[in-house]
Amino acid sequence: MISEIKDQLVNGIIPFWKSLRDDEFGGYYGYMDYETLTVDKKAVKGCILHSRILWFFSNAYMVLKDNTLLDEARHAYAFVKDHCLDAENGGIYWALNYDGTVYDNLKHTYNQAFCIYALSSYYDATGDREALEKAYALYHLIESKCRDANGYLEAFTVDFKPADNDFLSENGVMADRTMNTLLHVLEAYTELYRVDGSRDVGSSLRGIFDIFIKHIYNPERKRQEVFFDLDYNTLIDLHSYGHDIETSWLMDRSLEVLNDEFYKVKLAPVTKALAENVYDLAFDGHSLYNECERGVNNTLRVWWVQAETVVGFVNAYQKTGEDKYLDAAKSCWEYIRDVIIDKRPGSEWLSEVNDNGVCITKKPIVEPWKCPYHNGRMCLEIIKRGIDR
């Protein structure tokens, strides 16, 4: 499995994203359609996309030690620093025009977190303290402007007044708080703490664990709730299988990095239960369903869900020693290899397919949410963990 996954990283994902580099206006092209695999060089450039590209090339360089990857990371960093970050009001914009001018100046906590994640990794790869300083500036911004006494809030205007949470609300609800944003603040703070060990960031991580235990995790159903009002009342009966398997290993990573025995004892059984429940409810022997809304499974196989499934089940195997998880990870990788990876020259992974492996929705190959973060990270994690069969 490792050799195939490394080959997909080195000869598939990396060359594809290198080919999207924009040397005229900076950053990377933001859109490739499904039908013709045409790159729209004047499409909007999502700032989330660019944070994820920066994270990806930084980490790919640290694993593979290929200097061309460091060059891509520097290119991505320059675009994020010079265009995505708001020098006047602080924070990172939602999206830019192709030429680097502002397209959507919304400030979202989720987006701030991903930039911290990327800048922290870039600092680790390069030792560039400017990147670390910018990561801390975003950390302090989140803690001062993007939360209240009870936890993290979602969307804001350019100058951090409350705004509707359109981008992180789905399934017909408008959420004041989301599991997804909390998860990626956790992810970002974990990376920042890993590279610099700030006591303040460690304290923030403990606070996130407390929110997760008190409000997000449902112990009766062994799942996370997804969308909430300000008082953490659940807005919809929704089980997001992809987020639960992703959380199962990201939270274990955070527990490992923070190394706090109290929270390890408290949360290790929870992450084990998340993975086990997803395995029992959503894994069909080769791939993972998307989600379950009001008791009805959405059986689309979504690219990022499959990628997180491979890592999550390998992580569960390492925790429990149960072969079923390693077998499931291998089967899911084979499904990705045979069905999700687009075999057409010049393409990458399909966004989603139906039960029969057909890409009926024909979503773009590249757009602001379709990036080398989930699939690239899957490859890097499997290489680093060294688990094979």
Average pLDDT per 10 consecutive residues for the chain, totaling 389 residues:
96 98 98 98 98 98 98 98 98 98 98 98 98 98 98 98 88 93 98 97 98 98 98 98 98 98 97 98 98 97 98 98 97 98 98 95 96 97 87
Burial 340-366 (b: 16+ CB within 10 A, else e): bbbeeeebbbbbbbeeeeeeeeebbbb
Cα dist from 210 to 152, 213, 263, 375, whole Å: 12, 5, 9, 30
Q: State residue 178's pLDDT score.
A: 98
Type of residue found at 214: K
Residue 268, H or E segment: helix 261-282
The confidence score (pLDDT) of residue 251 equals: 98
Q: Give residues with Cβ within 8 angstroms of 210, minimum separation 6.
A: none
| pLDDT value of residue 389 | 66
Assess contact for 155 and 107: CB atoms under 8 A.
Answer: yes
d(CA 294, CA 271): 23
Using alpha carbons, list the distances in angstroms from residue 303 to 300, 340, 374, 376: 10, 7, 8, 12
pLDDT of residue 165: 86
Phi, psi of 12 (to 5 degrees): -120, -70
Two structure tokens written together for 8: 């997909």
Range of the domain at 126: 2-385
CB 383, CB 6: distance < 8 Å:
yes
Count CA atoms within 13 Å of residue 14 on its CB side.
24
**356: which 2 tokens?**
């029969």
- The residues pairing with 155 across neighbouring beta strands, listed in sequence order, are 108
| CATH code where residue 230 lies | 1.50.10.10
The two structure tokens encoding residue 48: 């989330």
Give CA–CA dist 124/337, Å, rounded.
Answer: 31
Q: How far apart are CA 44 and CA 101, in angstroms?
A: 10
Q: Tell me the C-alpha to C-alpha distance, in Å, between residue 165 and each of 44, 168, 175, 216, 229.
A: 20, 6, 7, 18, 11
Query: d(Cα 90, Cα 112) in Å, to the nearest integer?
Result: 10
- What pTM did the predictor assign? 0.97
The total of structural domains in the chain comes to 1
DSSP label at 353?
E
